[in-house]
Structure formats: C-alpha cells, structure tokens
Amino acid sequence: MELIIKEKEVKSILTKSNLPVSDYSVTPYIGCTHGCRYCYASFMKRFTNHSEDWGEFLDVKLWPEIKNMDKYRGKELFLGSVTDPYNPQEETYLRTQTLLKQLQGSGVKLTIQTKSDLVLRDIDLIKTFPDARVGFSINTLDEDFKNDMDQAVSIERRLTAMKQLHDAGIRTTCFIAPIFPGITDVEAIIDRVKDQCNLIWLENLNLRGSYKTDILGYIKEKHPHLVPLYEEIYLRGNRLYWEALDSTLHSYLSEHKLDYVRNDDSMARPFDAPPVVVNFFYHEEIKKSAKKRMK
C-alpha cells in the first residue's frame, strides 16, 4: 500500500467541540494511518477531497503559534477524535508534540485518545498538564482479531503503555470500543485493565456509512455463526443484545465492586480509586433525540 503524505497549512488548530467530553478538539492530522475498518471518522474523506481509501493518506497540518492561551484555562481539550495523534508518522512530523509544547502552561485539561504506545515519548510533557488523561482504545484481547481490524500497535503494547502512564501518575482510560457483538469480551478486558486505569468507557459498534457492508462481509467470512445476530442488530435494529449485555455487566461490576454509570465522574475521584465504568451505548442517538425533544 502506498501512503500519500502531504503537508497542509491551516490558520488555526483548536476548534470548538460538540463531543460530550470536551470544549475544544484538535486534529493535528487529517486522515489516520491505523486504517481501522470500523472507523466512523472515514466520513472526513468527503470534506477533504481525498479519493484514496481511508488509511492511505495523511495530511500533516502546519499551524501558526496559538494565541490567547488564557481562554483555554480549565477547558477540556480532546486530542484524537478523528485521527490518532500518535499515528506512526508522528514520530517524524512531531505535530502532536509541537502542539503540546505550544499549549504548555495554558492550564487546558488534556484528554488524549490513542491506539499507540508512541505517546510514552511525551510522558514528561503530558505530566505538566493539570488533570491530563490518556485513553487507549482496546476492544479485544485477541491479537488476530485486532490485526483483522486495524494496523495500529498490538493490544499488548497498548496495555503496557497504559500501565506505564498509570504508574507515572497520569490518569488513564480504557475505551472499550467499538464493542463487537459476540466477539468483544468486555468482562475479560475490564478484568485485565482494572488495576491500571481510572476510567473505562463502553461504546457499542455502530454500523453506518460505507463500512457497514465491509464489516458484515467480514462477519460472514470469519465468524459465520454470528451472521444471524448481526443481521438482527444491524439490519433489523434489534437492541436486545445491548440490553442483555448491559444487564450482565450490572451484575459483573457490582460483584467486582466497580461503579457502573452513565456519566463520567472519574476526575472527582482519588487517583487510586477503582475505575468507574461508563456506559455510552447509543449515546449519539440518545443525544440526537434529546435535542429533538428540547426543540
């Protein structure tokens, strides 16, 4: 596969965010070379005039110095919503590291989301931000399934990096997403990470846009016994699987004395407290219908 990399000058780098967890978001790159097959961010292609497949292009953003830093004090900044800020090319282009250096001392609350252990390179820098946290996306412990789905570093490397950051006193998140019905073993992942993270987020697999056909084709080829389940969920809109999983998790988490909630309050808890588990199933649809109700 040939990767097309271009540098692109932009006027500014911080944008107001409509994510539930942040005031601002940053995308130091357009595109993402992890090329996850389920990537909802692949819609970005439409807006950036890229004809290449998702994962096969990367625009490296170059921006001027950040001004009015005071306005970011105490605000939440999310890094990693539609790209991985620590994609392998960050090693060369250092755009994420540049951004962190520019924002040092601003008082912004940093949340980084990644699938890479390259984030360890910036550990000293990250530590200088108040209440910084670093999240790792882990939706399986099975490296074969991971390799079928993304080109990022192994799950083991992500788990090791998460532990190193946590040991260094940085808050960590395990983002169990997207949960693949019948494939993602949520309990096994929680069991593996519960002593090295402060927050566990759960999000169901959404299938929309161009990757729906690809994922359903993959299930048919590699997990044919799951075809009826996927058809029920993704062709007929049946949510019983998620309701059953929710109820199983309630019992599992109460047995393990972990809080299971809908809103993240992990920042209010001491660093050493057990992680809080946040259920984010269907949050986008819930948000949309709440907006409609308010109109």
Q: How many residues of this chain bind ligand SF4 (CB under 6 A)?
A: 11
Q: Which is nearer to ligand SF4, 200 or 253 (CB)?
A: 200
Minimum CB distance to ligand SF4, residue 203 (Å): 11
Nearest approach, Cβ of residue 84 and ligand SF4 (Å):
4
Tokens of 285: 């649809």
* Least distance CB 150 / ligand SF4 (angstroms): 6
Alpha helices in the chain (DSSP H): 44-48, 90-93, 95-103, 123-127, 143-149, 155-167, 186-193, 211-222, 227-234, 240-255, 283-294
Contact between 3 and ligand SF4 by CB under 6 A: the answer reads no
Closer to ligand SF4 by Cβ: residue 39 or 276:
39
Provide the token pair at 288.
């949309």
Nearest Cα to Cα of residue 246 among 194, 192, 191, 186: 186
The residue range among 58-66, 79-87, 196-204, 262-270 that interacts with ligand SF4, by the rule CB under 6 A, is 79-87
> Strand 57-62 and strand 29-30: pairing?
antiparallel
Return the amino acid letter for 19: L
Is residue 84 within the footprint of ligand SF4 (CB under 6 A)? yes
Q: Is 41 in the site for ligand SF4 (CB under 6 A)?
A: yes
**Window contacting ligand SF4 (CB under 6 A); options: 76-84, 118-126, 216-224, 269-277:** 76-84
What are the CB-based long-range contacts (under 8 Å, 24+) for 141-148? Answer: 141/185, 141/188, 141/189, 141/192, 145/180, 145/183, 148/37, 148/218, 148/222
Site string for ligand SF4, 138-177 (x = CB under 6 A): ------------x---------------------------
Which positions lie near ligand SF4, rule CB under 6 A?
32, 34-36, 39, 41, 82-84, 115, 150
